[in-house]
Structure 1
Amino acid sequence: MTIHIGAAPDQIAQTVLMPGDPYRAKWAAETFLDNAVLVNEVRGMLGFTGTWRGHRVTIQGSGMGMPSLSIYANELITNYDAQTLIRIGSCGGMQPHVGIRDVIVAMTASTITSPSSGILREMNYAPCADWGLLRAAVAAAEAKGTKTHVGGIYSSDVFYAERPDLDEQMVRHGILAVEMEAAELYTLAARHGRRALAVLTVSDHLQTGEALPAEERERSFGEMVEIALEAAFSEA
């Protein structure tokens, strides 16, 4: 048990999927895991452990933003020995060829600042995904016929951004989408020698203004969860 996770040491699996929304964690656990058990509800940040095709999996909400994710990822790694952490969540598309419902597998995650900035100081560190997880996720997505993009994303520390000049430069430099957590997850995984990946569903688009209707989100997000699970336990 930690300050933010009430699970006993043996209740957290070594493979953890991390959606931002705790209710998305509940939905994913009930939909994809067998014998899912609630193992954390401290501060309403729900976590569940069950099995997928015989493999133990924990699905733990991380909250919104890098500071919140940093708390949960740190405790999962240092107190529960989590080895593989995969963010599953939504993102906003930034490139014209990226469409609503598409899946993005984040190779890199750029950011202006994160909770790790105080450690890295003047270094412009480049957080990246685990290659084995990324390769397996792409293979899983291709096998499903899911329209998938692989490349760099941007992890913002604000939701209501007011920097059109920055958006313009990100589009110019090929950033596929924006979200709020992956850069810190990748940095923490590198620091502790763990595997990390972000598999994201495009729920809205910053250029076109399109947005995925609420009633369609769960169906669309299902592919993302399946890709993450298959990547986590791939032998590739």
Structure 2
Amino acid sequence: MTTPHIQAQAGEIAESCLLPGDPLRAKFIAEHFLAQPRQINATRNMLGYTGTYRGRPVSVMGTGMGMPSCMLYAEELIREYRVKRLIRVGSCGSTDAGITVNDLLIAASASTDSSANRNQFNGYDFAAAADFNLLETAVNAARQQVARFHVGNVFSTDSFYHPDKKLVATLNRMHILAIEMEAAGLYAVAARHRAQALAILTVSDDLVTQQHLSAEQRERSFQQMITLALDTAIAGYPD
């Protein structure tokens, strides 16, 4: 079994899969967090790996940047490889004064400026929400592991360099906590296929104060996010 974008064979991808945007972050996760990782995809340099975490099979696969790319990989992972739990791990920019760099954000839902979900929903607005079981598991784990984390609505945008200069103020007014580029699309694909999806994000940029993480700070903060995501991913396996 292969797809146009994934060369893995049947059975080579676990039921739980972490989805970083950056394929090199997938490589980092596999090499530093998984036991006996093996590469299962390199098509278009979108690296994917499968190994074990605390004795449970887990995969990690890059998705690229933006909703179209993320939705493409989510579709193939769920439909062709029977992935049941998909957890995005990535960065975001906070739009709330109470959220700063290094904080973790668990995306309960995702608003968007993209038409991608309307295209799947006959032109209607789709309420893109995380799977509740994954969300509850992540929140409970974060209470034990993470000093500062937040749960709420994020904004998934198609434009990294957004033309609306008042966007941050608008999002803040509607109590949207951060901007990122994939969660809304991931949640819609998962919903359509009855799969579970969640986005766990590290705040790398404070868009209110214009603070930004250094490369060293990003690595330290991302490790905390990855551990939380892995603990959430394996909770779905039966004992």
TM-score (norm 2): 0.96
The whole-number CA distance in structure 2 between the counterparts of 1:116 and 1:218 is 32
Quote the offset at 1:139 in angstroms.
Answer: 1.1
The 8 Å contact of residues 70 and 115 in structure 1, kept in 2 or not, is answered as no
1:135-214 equivalences in 2 (<5 Å)? 135-214=136-215
One-letter amino acid of the counterpart of residue 88, structure 1: V
Q: How many angstroms apart in 2 are the aligned matches of 1:114 and 1:190?
A: 17
Contact 1:114 1:183 in 2 (8 A): no
Distance 1:104 1:164 in 2: 23
CA distance in 1: counterparts of 2:79 and 2:147, whole angstroms = 35
Deviation string for 1:163-194 (max 9, x for gaps)? 12332211101111000000000001110000
CA drift at 1:126: 0.6
**Equivalent position of 1:93 in the other structure:** 94
User: 1:41 and 1:102 mapped to 2: Cα distance?
Assistant: 32
Instruction: Read off the aligned partner of 1:103 and give its amino acid letter.
Output: L
Runs of 4+ in 1 over 2 A off after TM superposition: 114-117, 164-167, 233-236
Q: How large is the Cα RMSD of the aligned pairs? A: 1.3
State the match for 2:58 in structure 1.
57
Matches within 5 A, 1:64-79: 64-79=65-80
Instruction: Specify the alignment match of 1:3 in structure 2.
Output: 4
Paired amino acid for 1:96: A
Change in CA separation of 1:88 and 1:145 when aligned onto 2, cut-off 3 Å: closer
Contact residue 114 and residue 184 of structure 1 kept, 8 A: no
* Comparing 116-125 and 183-192, the one that deviates more: 116-125
Alpha-carbon shift at residue 19 of structure 1 (Å): 0.2
The aligned residue for residue 217 of structure 1 is: 218
C-alpha distance in structure 1 between counterparts of 2:65 and 2:146, whole Å: 30
Q: Quick one: which amino acid aligns to residue 40 of structure 1?
A: N
In structure 1, the gaps of 5 or more residues are none
| Secondary structure class of the residue paired with 2:120 | helix
Secondary structure, counterpart of 1:124 in structure 2: coil
Q: Report the Cα distance in structure 2 between the residues aligned to 1:195 and 1:119, rounded to whole angstroms.
A: 18
CA distance in structure 2 between the partners assigned to 1:118 and 1:213 by the alignment: 38
Shift in Å, 1:81: 0.5
Paired position in structure 1 for 2:85: 84
Aligned residue type for 2:220: R
SS of match in other structure, 1:164: coil
Please give the residue correspondences for 1:26-45 in structure 2 after superposition, counting only pairs within 5 Å: 26-45=27-46
TM-score norm. by structure 1 comes to 0.97
Q: State the AA in 2 paired with 1:179.
A: E
Please tell me the residue identity of whatever aligns with 1:7. Answer: A
- Deviation, structure 1 residue 145: 3.5
Separation in 1, partners of 2:179, 2:146: 23
Displacement after TM superposition at 1:146 (Å) = 2.6
Q: Equivalent residue for 1:229?
A: 230
